[in-house]
Amino acid sequence: MNYIGSKLKLCQDFIPKTIKSVCGKDLSNKVFCDLFAGTGIVGRTFKTMVKKVIANDIEYYSYVINKNYIENHIEIIDKEEYIKKLNNAKLIKDGFIYKNYCLGGNGERQFFSDYNGMKIDTIRSKIEKWFNEKKIVSNIYYYLLCSLLECADKVANTASVYGAYLKKLKTSASKELVLVGANYQLNDNEHEVYNEDANKLINQIEGDILYLDPPYNERQYGANYHLLNTIAEYKQFIPRGKTGLPEYKRSMYCSKNTVLNEFEELIKKAKFKYIFLSYNNEGLMHCNTIKNIMTKYGYYDLAKTDYQRFKADSNRTNKYDSTVEYLHILEKNKF
């Protein structure tokens, strides 16, 4: 999934290497928390290395994705049979996504082709029906929902995020959606996933390693990925404006007026020995400001790397910009 701020490339070496250099190579007895989890790439990286992963995100689509990739850890019997039944289900032609986010539905928005909008409605409705009738349990429910979110995203008619749709169907959006299972890593350990405000949840959890990857700028994830939330929650509402926005949660980390207070409160309340903050050189908080805050609470260090950042726009001649990714490190005195 194309995702602003994804740490997929950084998890291939930089992030795990840096964390192990501080916390030790053997993390098997550690509790690792990914507090702003997004699509769960960092938590997935550490899932088989640690005793337990705690993953959290305020966005519901992220919660669904992490309930599958992080919390699911044992094999689901006959999961491919569920995928097959959903792919073969009879199309619903008056569903919420089709009516509000396809040209054939409202004649205005074109986030999906007409067929794919109907297919999304069909699959989403069937999953909910099965769950309500207790034909499937929660681990299968989130596996199937995560699978739908990822496959719907692949055929979305956007440049990358859902802040706008393209005027004409692009090649990938013209392809018919085929549901493919979102397979997860198997292991013996149980993990926890939350859908909470990070600054509230921090009072309820504790562990060894806290990884922080909050929003860096004023772009709200609830607006950029609103359609994923709409598919995941599948609740009726009146879409607003050209892009059909619902009401969405706004992060205090996306405002210059609130980010510093939110961040310091989080660091102060965290009951974790080691804290790692991913942030880049273009964020709302300056590097020295972060250092000054973290130094109040223990020993501070910094690691950094050049990073080819993906830009979510349609300018294919300048799609990648270089930025500096910082990993701020704190070993707390008291926690």
Kindly state the percentage of the chain with pLDDT values over 70: 96
d(CA 194, CA 21): 28
The band of 1, judged by pLDDT with boundaries at 50, 70 and 90, is confident
d(CA 270, CA 54): 14
How is residue 21 written in tokens?
């250099």
Best CA proximity match to 35, nearest among 171, 174, 215: 215
Q: How far apart are the first and last CA of the chain?
A: 36
3-state secondary structure of 54: strand
- Statement: residue 239 has pLDDT above 80: yes
Q: Is residue 266 within 8 Å of residue 210, measured between CB atoms?
A: no
pLDDT at 335: 67
Give the tens place of pLDDT for each residue, 6-38.
Answer: 999 999 999 999 999 999 999 999 999 999 999
Q: Is residue 230 within 8 Å of residue 296, measured between CB atoms?
A: no
CA 60 to the chain's CA centroid: 9
Q: Is residue 5 within 8 Å of residue 181, measured between CB atoms?
A: no
pLDDT at 105: 87
**HSE-CB of 271 using CA atoms within 13 angstroms:** 8
pTM of the model: 0.94
pLDDT at 315: 43
> Which residues, at least 6 apart from 259, have a Cβ–Cβ distance to it below 8 Å?
252, 253, 284, 285
How is residue 119 written in tokens?
């297919």
Residue 53 DSSP symbol: E
Domain extents for the chain? Answer: 1-60+189-215+252-335, 74-183+222-250
Kindly state the percentage of the chain with pLDDT values over 90: 89
Residue 332 CB coordination number (10 Å) = 18
The band of 318, judged by pLDDT with boundaries at 50, 70 and 90, is very low
Mean pLDDT of 51-59: 98
pLDDT at 41: 97
d(CA 303, CA 326): 6
How is residue 117 written in tokens?
């909008």
pLDDT at 310: 56
| Mean pLDDT across the chain | 94
Give the tens place of pLDDT for each residue, 107-124.
Answer: 889 999 999 999 999 999
Give the tens place of pLDDT for each residue, 280-317.
Answer: 988 999 999 999 999 999 999 999 998 776 555 444 43
- Name the CATH topology of 1-60+189-215+252-335: Rossmann fold (3.40.50)
pLDDT at 323: 83
